[in-house]
């Protein structure tokens, strides 16, 4: 540290979190004398999963100046318009949580209120007919959104499904080009200052000692610094998000190249399917109190669309968050900060948010405790909001066919979620956040997709006579269908990208 400036940042871990942080710091501090080093251990490896994202990742990539075609080609990415949930509310159900709006406001009243009124009168087409990303996804079509707000193709966004290992390599190349230094080795000791417990240095197995001013703990579930050294503590959310294990198994592509991720509910958890350009990522997230590892693996293997391309990767986790995500001179980012299970592909987004907040509150040598306190407050809030949204998927079910679903259906949700669910059930109102990642269309998709139907609709939606509303809905649904059918096939868009970068 020199004159109160942070000069050396040491990032522990070279998974998605470590390399995203390194790339972002190398970009944000370009031209300034900040040394950034990443320590990673090939012997320990990375978690090896994390392939589906949410649209915000595009802002991260754009900020770093990534060219989309190059990124898509090098990470074997596909486009993602949302997630299809199968068998969640009831066996046989299917709905898509899209990255986009449902319909459009009419007379200052939210679209879904008009739809609820039409539904009560018996003439509403299915809600998903009013979401362009859903209509396109159901046809395996994709196109980029239009920047023109008058164009119906401006009503959606998109994310990516990519090979996480290739994304980390892509970020690493970017960061190293900008001066980030990588050190291979396993940390065996963490040295703390006796006076205040700040981390002073880490010691590698080789005996090498590496000092820094700021440490970013991206060491995954281990939390080598934040927990191993600082004992920041962990808040366990298993009572609401009971899945605690997963098995992942990629296979060759034999099914459709869907522009969406699939999450199919099973007896004691759920299965994911994430199609990439070169393979399909599959996994089973499950609760060990209700099924065994072998049964879970068999359930996954039995439904693979082709033969596996690797050995099964078994993982264990505890859903929850670190009690302090910034403690003294250690900021935990990634799995070391918490894990809320992969149902809505939120982990990489939480990494991105953490990096943004770290840059907002980047410390100087005075280590003002307010920086850490505000960072922590904002990050804890994000984790809670994602948590509530995830719990909704498990709790809002009518399934009673297995002990696991009985448990989920009858659990007591957090008060914050109970209030939101009651408000929607009563009058179709969605509680919106100023901060927090899931907005009205996301909540609507899951509430209605999982059969929570409001008892009443907004009386203001009654201004439009029934025949006029019926016609308006029909016209709107036609517009979405026509726009979706005019889009190219998802596979064709990817082929075009591959040809352009060849
Ligand atoms: C089953 C499952 C499915 C998931 N699916 C998704 C998804 O679809 N979308 C999504 O956004 N997220 C998903 N995630 C989360 C996502 O995988 C992680 O958020 C992401 O990979 C970041 O992990 P990480 O970098 O924090 O940790 P890791 O990938 O575990 O990396 C930890 C790093 O720390 C290093 N390290 C650890 N200990 C030491 C030590 N002592 N010395 C030196 N180095 C050390 C390791 O070598 C490694 O480089 C999923 C997670 C799980 C468990």
- What tens digit of pLDDT does each residue of 67-116 get? 999 999 999 999 999 999 999 999 999 999 999 999 999 989 999 999 99
Does residue 335 have its Cβ closer than 6 Å to ligand 1? yes
Q: Which residues are annotated as a binding site for L-tryptophan?
A: 344
Q: Are 17 and 224 in contact (CB under 8 A)?
A: no
Cβ of residue 350 lying under 6 Å from some atom of ligand 1: no
Mean pLDDT of 170-181: 98
pLDDT at 180: 98
Question: Which position among 63, 76, 80, 463 bears the catalytic label?
Answer: 80
How many Å apart are CA 454 and CA 426, to the nearest integer? 5
Residue 13 Cα: closest atom of ligand 1: 34
Residue 309, number of CB atoms within 10 A of its CB: 13
Closest ligand 1 atom to residue 18 Cα is 25
| All domains of the chain in start order, with CATH | 8-77+162-236+319-385 (3.50.50.60)
> pLDDT-derived band of residue 499, with 50, 70 and 90 as boundaries?
confident
**H helical segments located in 276-346:** 293-302
Of the candidates 160, 83, 60, the one whose C-alpha atom is nearest the C-alpha of residue 344 is: 83
pLDDT at 436 exceeding the cut of 70: no
pLDDT tens sequence across 437-447: 788 999 999 99
**Cβ atoms of 392 and 446 closer than 8 Å:** yes
The pLDDT score that the predictor gives to residue 431 is 83
Q: Which atom of ligand 1 is nearest to the CA of 48?
A: 29
Report the DSSP beta bridge partners of residue 313.
248
CA dist 453 and 334 (Å) reads 36
Nearest-angstrom CA–CA distance, 355 and 336 = 14
DSSP 153: G
pLDDT band, very low/low/confident/very high, at 459 (cuts 50, 70, 90): confident
Does pLDDT of 432 surpass 90?
no
Our answer to whether residue 63 is catalytic in this structure is no
Write down the pLDDT at residue 434: 65
pTM value surpassing 0.95 = yes
**Is there a contact between 287 and 404 (Cβ–Cβ < 8 Å)?**
yes
C-alpha–C-alpha distance, residues 296 and 287, integer Å: 9
Scan for tokens 């000791």, then name that residue: 189
> Does residue 48 register a pLDDT over 90?
no
pLDDT at 435: 64
Pocket of ligand 1 contains residue 204 by CB under 6 Å: no
- For the chain, the average pLDDT equals 96
| 163 close to ligand 1 (CB < 6 Angstrom) | no
- Whether the predicted pLDDT of 130 surpasses 70: yes
CB 280 within 8 A of CB 300: no
Q: What is the DSSP letter of 186?
A: -
| Cα of 17 from ligand 1 centre, angstroms | 7
Residue 21: CB within 6 Å of ligand 1?
no
Average pLDDT, integer, range 182-197? 98
**pLDDT band at residue 29 under the 50/70/90 scheme:** very high
């Amino acid at each position: 540290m020199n004159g109160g400036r942070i000069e050396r940042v040491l990032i522990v871990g070279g998974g998605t979190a470590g390399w995203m942080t390194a790339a972002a710091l190398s970009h944000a501090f370009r031209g300034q004398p900040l040394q950034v080093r990443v320590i990673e251990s090939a012997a320990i490896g990375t978690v090896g999963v994390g392939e589906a994202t949410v649209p915000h990742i595009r802002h991260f990539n754009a900020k770093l100046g990534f060219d989309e075609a190059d990124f898509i080609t090098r990470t074997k990415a596909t486009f993602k318009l949302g997630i299809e949930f199968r068998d969640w509310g009831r066996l046989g159900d299917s709905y898509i949580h899209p990255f986009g709006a449902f319909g459009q406001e009419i007379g200052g009243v939210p679209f879904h209120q008009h739809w609820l009124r039409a539904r009560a009168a018996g003439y509403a087409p299915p809600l998903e007919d009013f979401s362009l990303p859903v209509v396109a996804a159901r046809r395996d079509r994709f196109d980029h959104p239009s920047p023109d707000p008058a164009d119906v193709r401006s009503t959606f966004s998109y994310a990516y499904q990519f090979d996480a290992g290739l994304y980390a390599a892509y970020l690493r190349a970017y960061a190293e080009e900008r001066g980030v230094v990588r050190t291979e080795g396993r940390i065996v000791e963490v040295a703390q200052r006796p006076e205040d417990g700040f981390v002073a240095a880490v010691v590698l197995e080789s005996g090498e000692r590496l000092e820094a001013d700021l440490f970013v703990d991206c060491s995954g579930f281990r939390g080598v610094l934040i927990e191993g050294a600082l004992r920041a503590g962990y808040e366990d959310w298993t009572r609401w998000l009971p899945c605690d294990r997963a098995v992942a198994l990629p296979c060759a592509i034999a099914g459709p190249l869907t522009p969406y991720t699939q999450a199919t509910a099973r007896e004691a958890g759920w299965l994911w399917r994430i199609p990439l350009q070169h393979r399909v990522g599959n996994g089973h997230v499950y609760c060990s109190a209700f099924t065994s590892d072998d049964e879970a693996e068999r359930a996954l293997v039995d439904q693979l669309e082709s033969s596996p391309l690797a050995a099964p990767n078994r993982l264990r986790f505890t859903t929850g968050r670190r009690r302090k995500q910034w403690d003294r001179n250690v900021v935990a980012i990634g799995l070391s900060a918490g894990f809320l299970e992969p149902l809505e592909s939120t982990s990489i987004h939480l990494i991105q948010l953490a990096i943004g907040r770290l840059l907002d509150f980047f410390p100087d040598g005075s280590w003002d405790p307010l920086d850490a306190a505000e960072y922590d407050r904002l990050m804890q809030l994000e984790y809670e909001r994602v948590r509530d949204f995830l719990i909704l998927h498990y709790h809002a079910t009518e399934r009673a066919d297995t002990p696991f679903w009985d448990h989920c259906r009858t659990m007591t949700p957090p008060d914050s979620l109970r209030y939101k669910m009651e408000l929607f059930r009563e009058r179709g109102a969605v509680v919106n956040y100023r901060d927090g990642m899931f907005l009205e269309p996301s909540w609507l998709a899951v509430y209605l997709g999982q059969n929570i139907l409001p008892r009443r609709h907004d009386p203001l939606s009654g201004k439009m006579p029934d025949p006029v509303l019926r016609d308006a809905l029909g016209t709107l649904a036609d517009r979405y269908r026509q726009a979706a059918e005019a889009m190219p096939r998802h596979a064709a868009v990817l082929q075009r990208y591959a040809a352009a970068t060849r």
